[in-house]
Amino acid sequence: MNKVAKPRLKPDSLALSLYGAAQAVALVRAGTALPPALTRVAQTLGLSDAARGAQQDIAYRSMRQWGRAGALLALLAARAPQEPLLASLLGCSLALLCQDDDGSGTRPYTDFTLVDQAVAAAAADPKTAHAKGMVNAILRRFLRERAELLEQVMREPAGRWNYPAWWITRIQADYPEQWQAILAAGNAAPPLTLRVNRRQTTVAACLQELAAQGIAARQIGTDAVRLAQPLPVHAIPGFDQGRVSVQDAGAQLAAPLLDVQDGMRVLDACAAPGGKTCHLLECADIDLLALDSDGERLQRITENLQRLQLSARLQQADASNADWWDGQPFDRILADVPCTASGVVRRHPDIRWLRRPEDAARLATLSAQILDNLWRMLKPNGKLLLVTCSLWPEESEQQAQAFGSRHHAIRLAAPGQLLPGADGEIDQDGLFYALFQKPASGSNAATQ
């Protein structure tokens, strides 16, 4: 992993945040997911909360525009920059300069300010200081020839849609009627949706509390409230006290589909970071085991449980094995299995640049092993909910059909494939749901 330097830049300056974003993007291009990359860089640079927020905003904007930025850089630079930090700094700067707006009708920074601060960021690091003149020249040339250059890069799919070419081809093949809307939705910033903790409050009370603080919001689901404008989580009334959590509207369908009842023994496999775990506990008094193979991610479940004043048994283990199971079957199993996360790229725009075409088949094989393992742990007449946040059929519908056929499972009504973006009143991520019931002993299974 690349070493993160600490440049001499003014605290809370755009140059420092731009430099931090470029460092994080360089780590993404080397294979690190964006959230941990941002955290590592921010800690190394000692960024303030304000600078850290600007760093994150720039990095996320850049990842959503990376196809276009890369195409522009190829046109503007005689040779592709070999230094990862330099290439990322130029890419982030071009992404911001070519972005139409930030939702308010204007670009987030003026052209002059952005160019000036990009040059300052380049000058502050020994690896890029020699190229500060080139940074200035490339960005100023873009401003002079913006219309012509953008027209040229928009002719190429990656420049037009900001996805790898293979990703665009797949979406076109799998969703021939909706492909443009799906790609466009993935390039938009997601809405901020809350899940109201029914154990502590009600949707009506939550809306009243928000309104009293001048925060516009509306109900969009049984426990779901959509804010008109996103806010930092700790600025949301009731968040720190556990009255609300942030959870996508599509993700909030999982707990109601499982229909948990008081006294049930429930398994949440692949549970981290715990949003669905907590929702299940908010719905009924159940004996819940939250399983995950990642110890650090399990800690996030613990933090969520503590904030919401809920309790569950947590265990670090591999859901594809049975060495952790005590032999007692479960009434309900939530199987939010590993996948490419191709349906949540608007929340995680780095995913499209980290994934490879072969990943879906590899992860589908692992998920099938997990599902087969979990099925034997389910009681007769019990229910298993298969969830993925993928748009690729081999991870979703094809997986569900193959699983149901292998185990003669009863398939119950569930939403199937959700598409990202607006769907009437709901604006959701691209999740997939398939609900199965285990036949009673000796009965013949049927698909419903």
Domains for the chain: give ranges and CATH numbers: 14-161 (1.10.940.10), 191-247 (3.30.70.1170), 251-437 (3.40.50.150)
Nearest CA to 96 out of 21, 12, 180 is that of 21
Higher pLDDT, 4 or 322: 322
pLDDT above 80 for 131: yes
pLDDT above 60 for 111: yes
What string of DSSP letters covers 190-201?
PP-EEEE-TTT-
- pLDDT of res. 108: 78
pLDDT above 60 for 437: yes
Catalytic residue among 98, 206, 283, 389: 389
- pLDDT of res. 370: 98
pLDDT band of residue 6 (cuts 50, 70, 90) is: confident
Residue 389 is a catalytic residue: yes
Which of 97-106, 201-210, 318-327 is least confident?
Answer: 97-106
Residue 147 tokens read as 């219309």
Higher pLDDT, 236 or 442: 236
Helix (H, G, I), strand (E, B) or coil at 311: coil
- Stretch 323-331: mean pLDDT: 97
- pLDDT of res. 184: 95
- The model's pLDDT over 192-220, given as tens digits with 9 standing for 90+, comes to 999 999 999 999 999 999 999 999 999 99
pLDDT above 70 for 448: no
- Stretch 287-308: mean pLDDT: 95
R_g over Cα of the chain: 24
Nearest CA to 363 out of 383, 384, 385, 393 is that of 393
Higher pLDDT, 283 or 2: 283
pLDDT band of residue 106 (cuts 50, 70, 90) is: low
Share of the chain above pLDDT 70, in %: 95
H helices present in 238-357, as ranges: 254-258, 275-283, 295-308, 351-354
pLDDT band of residue 3 (cuts 50, 70, 90) is: low
- pLDDT of res. 102: 42
pTM for this model (two decimals): 0.92
At CA 275, angle to CA 366 and CA 422, rounded to 5? Answer: 90
- Stretch 442-448: mean pLDDT: 44
Higher pLDDT, 435 or 79: 435
pLDDT above 60 for 396: yes
- pLDDT of res. 2: 58
pLDDT band of residue 441 (cuts 50, 70, 90) is: confident
Higher pLDDT, 296 or 328: 328
Distance, in Å, from the CA atom of 1 to the CA atom of 49, rounded to the nearest integer, reads 25
Helix (H, G, I), strand (E, B) or coil at 58: helix
pLDDT above 90 for 78: no
Distance, in Å, from the CA atom of 90 to the CA atom of 31, rounded to the nearest integer, reads 19
- The model's pLDDT over 85-101, given as tens digits with 9 standing for 90+, comes to 999 999 999 999 987 64
- pLDDT of res. 447: 40
| Chain position carrying tokens 């996320």 | 60
Share of the chain above pLDDT 90, in %: 89
Q: Which amino acid is at 431?
A: L
- pLDDT of res. 446: 41
Distance, in Å, from the CA atom of 384 to the CA atom of 253, rounded to the nearest integer, reads 14
| For residue 81, cis peptide bond before it (omega within 30 degrees of 0) | no
Distance, in Å, from the CA atom of 272 to the CA atom of 155, rounded to the nearest integer, reads 41
Residue 398 tokens read as 């094809």
- The model's pLDDT over 366-388, given as tens digits with 9 standing for 90+, comes to 999 999 999 999 999 999 999 99
Nearest CA to 75 out of 129, 26, 146 is that of 146
Average pLDDT taken over every residue of the chain:
93
Distance, in Å, from the CA atom of 244 to the CA atom of 203, rounded to the nearest integer, reads 10
